[in-house]
């Protein structure tokens, strides 16, 4: 393999890994607080559409990115309401988001562009050339000239690591994911902490979707996420629920996706190439399966005060009635 071939492969790997990594970071922050979010795929697709549509209308891709993140937060608000405050099953709510996202995007797309497959070209974010680094042979093309989402993703990894492990807020998020009862006994609001983590994760998932439509191809196509949201969920587990580990796992899955793209003209059956990222995911989870340790309260609902107050009142009324009958 020539140097240019290796350089092109590494650039492709970084580009394909970024949407997965942003979705993975969304899962990581949410599950650190004890809330499972498997609706990343649905959030990504509807955010990708919203970002593309906003950029198409306003001719401003940064407004499109902001709109996509906002929709990601709104979609995650459904998880907050249904799973945290109403004690709904987190997996079922996530499946609902995965059904809602593509369906809503397809419906609005047909009304907006009169097209069921691909949108018109939309203004996207241009690559950023890094001074000095861009002139370094080999290293320059790998590190410079990428769309802003790639550099934003790396910055988020560093920021999330600092927040989770070096701030009081991060300590509270990790604590509420391990033992929410202990957090409640010191006077902290479990529901607000979990809600904030889920909403932040929703913004990251929205950014992941926007990075596809405004950072890669500058169009929106039906099914353009191509199950990257599910790969993100798997990368979170493979990365041991840590920002750095999740990002490295995303790089691994992104490299398999880049390899699949590079090998399309090799004569290998396309069906096998399409399976490559998912085979890698299964092998990775199988190898590390016994070592995985999720946050202790991950996926465990914390009962809302309203839901536990009613049975006590009913019980008190029954006890008063029993005491009255005993006196009579």
> Is the Cβ–Cβ distance between 21 and 246 less than 8 Å?
yes
pLDDT per residue as tens digits for the range 28-43 = 999 999 999 999 999 9
pLDDT per residue as tens digits for the range 62-74 = 999 999 999 999 9
Q: Which residue has the tokens 């071939």?
A: 5
* One-letter-per-residue 3-state SS of 116-182: CCECCCCCCCCCECCCCHHHCCCHHHHHCCECHHHHHHHHHHHHHHHHHHHCHHHHHHHHHHHCHHH
- If one looks up domain 3-303 in CATH, what number appears? 1.10.3470
Q: Which residue ranges make up each domain of the chain?
A: 3-303
pLDDT per residue as tens digits for the range 143-166 = 888 889 999 999 999 999 999 999
Q: What does pTM read for this prediction?
A: 0.87
| Whole-angstrom distance, CA of residue 17 vs CA of residue 307 | 42
């Amino acid at each position: 393999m020539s140097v240019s071939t290796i350089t092109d492969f590494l650039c492709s790997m970084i580009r394909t890994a970024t949407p997965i990594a942003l979705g993975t970071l969304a899962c990581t922050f949410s599950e650190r607080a004890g809330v499972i979010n498997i609706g990343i795929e649905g959030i990504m697709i509807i955010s990708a559409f919203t970002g593309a549509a906003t950029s198409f209308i306003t001719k401003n891709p940064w407004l499109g990115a902001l709109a996509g993140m906002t929709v990601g937060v709104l979609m995650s608000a459904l998880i907050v309401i249904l799973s945290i405050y109403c004690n709904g099953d987190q997996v079922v709510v996530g499946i609902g988001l995965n059904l809602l996202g593509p369906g809503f995007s397809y419906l609005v797309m047909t009304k907006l562009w009169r097209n069921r497959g691909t949108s018109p070209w939309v203004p996207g974010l241009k690559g950023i050339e890094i001074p000095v680094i861009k002139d370094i042979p080999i290293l320059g093309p790998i590190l410079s000239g990428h769309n802003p989402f790639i550099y934003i993703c790396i910055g988020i990894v560093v920021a999330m690591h600092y927040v989770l492990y070096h701030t009081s807020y991060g300590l509270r998020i990790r604590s509420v994911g391990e033992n929410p009862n202990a957090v409640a006994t010191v006077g902290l609001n479990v529901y607000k902490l979990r809600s904030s983590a889920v909403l932040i994760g929703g913004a990251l998932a929205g950014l992941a979707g926007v990075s596809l439509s405004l950072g890669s191809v500058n169009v929106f196509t039906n099914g353009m996420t191509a199950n990257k949201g599910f790969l993100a969920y798997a990368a979170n587990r493979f990365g041991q629920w840590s920002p750095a580990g999740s990002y490295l796992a995303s790089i691994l899955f992104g490299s398999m996706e880049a390899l699949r793209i590079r090998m399309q003209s090799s004569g290998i059956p396309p069906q096998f190439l399409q399976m490559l990222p998912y085979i890698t995911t299964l092998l990775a989870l199988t190898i590390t399966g016994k070592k995985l340790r999720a946050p202790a309260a991950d996926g465990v609902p914390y009962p809302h005060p309203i839901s536990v107050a009613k049975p006590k009142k009913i019980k008190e009324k029954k006890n008063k009635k029993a005491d009255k009958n005993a006196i009579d």
